[in-house]
Chain A
Amino acid sequence: MSTHTETTHDHAGGDAGAHEHGGTAVNVKTLLALLVLTAITVGAAYVNLGSGNVVVALLIATIKASLVALFFMHLRWDKPVYGIVAMAGFLFLGIFLMFCVLDASSRNYYLPQNMHRTEVPLTPGTAPPSLTEILPETPDAAAAAPGAAAPAGEKVPVTEPKK
């Protein structure tokens, strides 16, 4: 529902009343910034910052993504609704990640001493063995055979303190 009456320019195609924006200069500068940031992130990968490496890499990636979104994808000059839609996508993805990490980090499953309890080696091209081959028939059988492999989910004496 347009209300302005200019006939010369591209209101039908485009940028609801915005003035001249974008343009080759902006695009070139954005590209150069992106290339520089790429060089920085590759360079940073050769410096050992421990767990900081992931943070730095993701931070630079986010800056690059923002540049692409703001300038190449035009969000800088567009109506806010498009940016809100994009942010909603990232926000709910973040919620998903956050709760999964909350759960996994407060659970015992990922502790090193529990990591390889139920695993069996893979032979490429064949199906993994069925559970009946891995688990003993009854819990009593497991207790009766002290040298047997610890079955999944069974109460096994655990050395680390109870969480």
Chain B
Amino acid sequence: MSTTSVDLPSHGGHGDAGHIDDPHHQHHFTTMEQQFDTAKLGMWLFLATEILLFGGLFVGFGMMQGRYPREFVEAHEHLVRWQGALNTVVLLFSSFTMVMAVQSAKNNKKDKTVFFLFLTIICACIFLVVKYFEYSHKFEEGWLPGKFYSAKGDSIPGSHGYATFFAFYFMMTGLHGIHILAGIGLLSWILMRAKRGEFSNAYYTPVDLVGLYWHIVDLIWIYLFPLYYLIQ
């Protein structure tokens, strides 16, 4: 099935539950529509768990910010604002390319799907490269988490607030980075399947679901960016 458009056979309406020809049809669903809607619901439930998982870190960060207001403000100045802003722009653009990829898959535009997925992966890689530069700078200066914090020149020496700030910085951007990496993996898998012509307007569920995941990764960064780079 490598053509760019697919002619749907007579659709699996609820009269012919046993006769759906789509090779992706799972037997416990009556129609492809039911299957797609269920998959989407499952993905949204998973995204809710991601909101709560990251949210826990946001709460911890917020509480520690209340604990160490001066140290947190001072420590955050070590973060380079333009790098954070660049990463924000890159991720927003990648969300755009992602939604364009989903749209292309839905409209049977195989080449555009592949193109937009590819762009999304490129954006993700740019994000990670910028992150790499940020992290290596931190390592050099000794702005490290917890007991590894070894920077000098803080205005309240001996306070743990700086170490705690950077612990949270690395935890949150690190967990986010792991999700970006996982996203690159998923996007690459979808890219390969798109190249094989697996997606059409009859079946583009995986692209849609990976898209939803990718948007959540972007959404988390939308909150991370101001809290870490813009607070003063």
Contacts and interface: CB of A to CB of B under 8 A. Distances in A.
Q: Direct A–B touching in the complex (beta carbon < 8 Å)?
A: yes
A85 B41 CA distance: 8
Interface stretch (A67-75, A132-140, A146-154, A155-163): A67-75
- Secondary structure call for the A interface: helix
Interface string B210-229: 01100100110011011101
A33 B212 CA distance: 20
Given A41-B226, A85-B44, A121-B158, A22 B231 contact: no
Contacts of B229: 45
Interface string B31-55: 1111011001100110111011001
Contacts of B163: 122
Interface in A41-74: 41-42, 44-45, 48, 53-54, 57-58, 60-61, 64-65, 68-69, 71-73
A119 B160 contact: yes
A128 B147 CA distance: 8
A89 B45 CA distance: 9
Nearest to A88: B48
Best-buried of A13, A24, A45 by chain B (most CB within 10 Å): A13
Contacts of B93: 31
Contact of A38 (B10, B88, B232): B88
Interface residues of A, number: 69
B99 A27 contact: yes
A13 B59 contact: no
Contacts of B11: 2, 7, 11-12
Interface size class of B (residues with CB under 8 A): 35 or more
Contacts of B215: 68-69, 72-73
A34 interface: yes
A143 interface: no
Interface of A: 1-3, 5, 7, 9-14, 16, 22-24, 27-28, 30-31, 34-35, 38, 41-42, 44-45, 48, 53-54, 57-58, 60-61, 64-65, 68-69, 71-73, 78-79, 81-82, 85-86, 88-90, 92-93, 96-97, 100-101, 104-105, 110, 115-116, 119, 121-128
18 contacts: A2-B11, A12-B32, A12-B203, A13-B200, A13-B202, A13-B204, A14-B201, A27-B103, A31-B95, A45-B232, A53-B231, A58-B223, A72-B215, A78-B40, A81-B44, A93-B59, A96-B55, A122-B149
